Amino acid sequence: MGSPFVRKASVSTAICLFLSGCGGGSGGSASTITTSAITFLAETITGGNFSADALTAFRVESFAAYEDAAQILRESDIYQRQKIRWSERNGTSYESYSLASARIEYAHAIGLTGAGQIISIVDDGFLTTHQSYANRIEGGNAGSAASHGTSVASVAAGNSTYMIGVAPGATIQPGLFNTARSRADATDLARTTGAVVQNNSWGFSDFKANTTDFERLFVQSDNSIYLTALQRYTQNGVVVFAADNIRTNSVAGLMEALPAFVPELEAGWLAVISGVPQFDSERILSAQRRSAPCLEAARWCIAADGTWRAATSTSDTSYDLRVGTSFAAPMVSGAIALLAEAFPNLTPHDLRARLIASADNGFEGFTASGTLEVVPGSGFFHDYSTEWGHGFLDVRAALLPIGTPVAVLADGTTQSADEPLITGGGATGDAVARSLASTPILVTDLLGGDFTMPGAALSATAAPPPISEQLWYSMFGDAPRSGLLQAYGGANLTMHHDGLELALLAPEAGGAAGIRGTDPAMAAFIGQNLQAAGGEVFVGLNVTRDDGTILPGIGGSTSTLAALELAYRRDVGRDGFFEVGGTFGMSPSERGPALSDRSAVQFNAFKVEAGQNSVLRRGDRISLGLSLPVAVTSGGAEIALPVSRSDGLVEHRSVGIDYAPQDREINVSLTYDTPVGRNAAIFVGAIHAANHGNISGQHDTAALLGFRMAF
């Protein structure tokens, strides 16, 4: 069958023999270390307090909060060492920055290191005492010290003051590729020990992606035991294979394309090519491919920049320049270890899907040749090309929510994280958001990744109408005496007869649902003016079905309100007057969608107005008013919200919501109107609202000059 292994690239030195990629050029040895790169990160970024929970401390829509920390890392010595300007023998020059182009600094900035994860590495041999990973070797067969395997291991999980790898806290499990039995043993060990990923930076020299070569290798030779081991391991784990480094290849190597012949492997398989990208802070702009294209492996292939100053086996402190797919592949393997730490609820197959779904394929020169639903049934599709596969590794994007996250409520329904579950009513202001602010809510993205966000993110505070509307109604509106109906902007119909007032608020025929997605508001009001106590007493009664305008709308629920209206008006002196009034209401306790309980709610409103008639001319009027619009004084609700996951199941906690706002709205108004003819008047007014909308610190001021005419 010829030589069983392939010399996939030979940039400079003989260590490349049989391997996917190799290093070359100038390098050097690091001085003896006293602290690790992890210690450096802890001291520089977090003061020694690493926490992968930083990722889920809030809903991650961007890494803006960690941008300064990421910048510190990019400028650190251990990062800058991977910012390399280098040339091929033919004179073609490149500028590589493998860590930054894959956005790995963002994972490190939030404290992710791959701690607790095992990376199986099948290669030619390892210097187990190398400073970059000496204390993180677990089991396996390291063989004789060899630079290629040592370099690959350091890229995946290096940790020294000279360099940092992708997952510097992960454990390395070495294995050898030299025989079918050693390959099978390494793969079986990865399965039994729960290694999240197995890295393979090697390949077969004489075997390409065709049926004949597949049968020669796996049917007609002892490699059948290796294939069986791969089939068992990929039921849960992920195998990563480096592609060939020969750029002119028109057929993929058999190993990177193996799922084309054994389809059940695909869910646990990734092929990796190498390219040098040009990038800015947001995306890959363009790229130069430095290896074979993805070809038959395109559906499960991604790219990374395999240019590293990595460990070698010359000594425990030696490093050298390494270039090729051999060093792009362990970047992907290390990234899976980072994701495994960040998303403990996800399987290795899920993590693989995140890398595919988040790969950057928006750069110049990428031409899609197909699209893949990354997880069957997810509805999330990602384009791939026969040249670049799904695009470049992007760890930052893989750590962000993919698709819109949802919260799974106690009744099994889901609530989109970009839509409020609870919308605070005008009488509650920002009370709902304040009540939920300290409660972390578990949300899950389209590919199963868990994140937490403040409970307040599931709520919305209704924007109060501009205070100018009150002036407008004072001038033009036939506003009912009911303070409750005024909160809805008035009534559809108001009638007066001999001191009796009737007002109705009804939904328009065929109208849409209410403003919170509930049934639209309906209200009836009846009131009577009575002469008493030297003035005029007004007594009224409201019955209302609220649509979320007054009390919070939760999951489409409605509230029934009842309120008593009282007012007293009296003339003072020859032309003066004053009026005082109040609304006193309640809503009974009830249950509703998403609510585990809601106690009885009490609310009120007050108004005082004093004025003088015929001040400047006969028939004019000036008045000064002070009002407190409708606000809740007591009551609230309990709602069961998702807060954590245990054994794969979402756990819920009952969270209390206090409906009473911290500070209620206070309005001060000054108005003047004067007749300018038999049926016309000029109106001038100004109003200021403190804590507008019952939201602390929010203010609104308006002034109005108008002309009113009756026909």
pLDDT at 626 over 70: yes
- Looking at the DSSP bridge assignments, the partners of residue 603 are 585, 632
pLDDT at 8 over 80: no
- pLDDT value, residue 336: 98
C-beta of residue 566 within 8 angstroms of C-beta of residue 582 = yes
Q: Predicted confidence band at 479 (pLDDT cuts at 50, 70, 90)? A: low
pLDDT at 612 over 90: yes
pLDDT in tens, 342-388: 999 999 999 999 999 999 999 999 999 999 999 999 999 999 999 99
pLDDT at 614 over 70: yes
pLDDT in tens, 192-222: 999 999 999 999 988 999 999 999 999 999 9
pLDDT at 638 over 90: no
C-beta of residue 139 within 8 angstroms of C-beta of residue 192 = no
Q: Residue 151 has which token pair?
A: 């370099």
Closest CA to 157 of 184, 185, 195: 195
- Looking at the DSSP bridge assignments, the partners of residue 683 are 673, 706
- Name the helix (H) or strand (E) containing 530: strand 522-532
pLDDT at 429 over 60: yes
Q: What is the largest CA-CA distance in the chain?
A: 118
- pLDDT value, residue 260: 98
pLDDT in tens, 562-585: 999 999 999 988 889 999 999 999
pTM, entire model:
0.81
pLDDT at 64 over 70: yes
pLDDT in tens, 68-113: 999 999 999 999 999 999 998 888 999 999 999 999 999 999 999 9
Q: Mean pLDDT, to the nearest integer, of 529-555?
A: 87
CA angle at 67 for the pair 61 and 68, rounded to the nearest 5°: 150
- Cα separation, 590 vs 170, whole angstroms: 52
- pLDDT value, residue 557: 67
Q: Residue 380 has which token pair?
A: 């999330």
Q: What is the percent of the chain where pLDDT is above 70?
A: 87
List CB contacts of 624: < 8 A, sequence separation 6 or more. 609, 610, 611, 668, 669, 670
pLDDT in tens, 482-507: 778 878 877 778 888 888 989 888 87
Q: Predicted confidence band at 55 (pLDDT cuts at 50, 70, 90)? A: very low
- pLDDT value, residue 44: 46
pLDDT at 22 over 60: no
pLDDT in tens, 266-287: 999 999 999 999 999 999 999 9
What are the CA-CA distances from residue 600 to residues 367, 422, 545, 556, 658 (Å)?
61, 18, 15, 19, 12
- pLDDT value, residue 62: 66
- pLDDT value, residue 41: 52
User: Cα-Cα-Cα-Cα dihedral of 488, 493, 579, 473, to 10°?
Assistant: 60
Q: Predicted confidence band at 590 (pLDDT cuts at 50, 70, 90)? A: low
Q: Mean pLDDT, to the nearest integer, of 435-447?
A: 89
- pLDDT value, residue 598: 76
pLDDT at 56 over 80: no
- Which of 52-66, 263-277, 327-341, 472-486 has the weakest average pLDDT? 52-66
pLDDT in tens, 119-173: 999 999 999 999 999 999 999 999 999 999 999 999 999 999 999 999 999 999 9
- Cα separation, 30 vs 28, whole angstroms: 7
- Cα separation, 427 vs 436, whole angstroms: 17
Q: Residue for token digits 């003016």?
A: 529
- Name the helix (H) or strand (E) containing 468: helix 468-476
pLDDT in tens, 685-703: 999 999 999 999 999 999 9
- pLDDT value, residue 301: 98
- pLDDT value, residue 489: 76
Q: Mean pLDDT, to the nearest integer, of 295-310?
A: 98
pLDDT in tens, 332-354: 999 999 999 999 999 999 999 99
| 342 vs 511 pLDDT, higher one | 342
pLDDT in tens, 311-327: 999 999 999 999 999 99
pLDDT at 472 over 90: no
Q: Predicted confidence band at 50 (pLDDT cuts at 50, 70, 90)? A: very low
- pLDDT value, residue 21: 36
| 480 vs 402 pLDDT, higher one | 402
- pLDDT value, residue 458: 81
User: Mean pLDDT across the chain, nearest whole number?
Assistant: 86
pLDDT at 667 over 60: yes
DSSP-assigned letters across all residues of 42-95: IIIIITT---GGGGGSS--S-SGGGHHHHHHHHTSHHHHTTEEEEE-TTS-EEE
Domains of the chain: 14-399 (3.40.50.200), 406-460 (no CATH), 461-709 (no CATH)
| 167 vs 61 pLDDT, higher one | 167
Q: Mean pLDDT, to the nearest integer, of 463-468?
A: 85
- pLDDT value, residue 30: 31
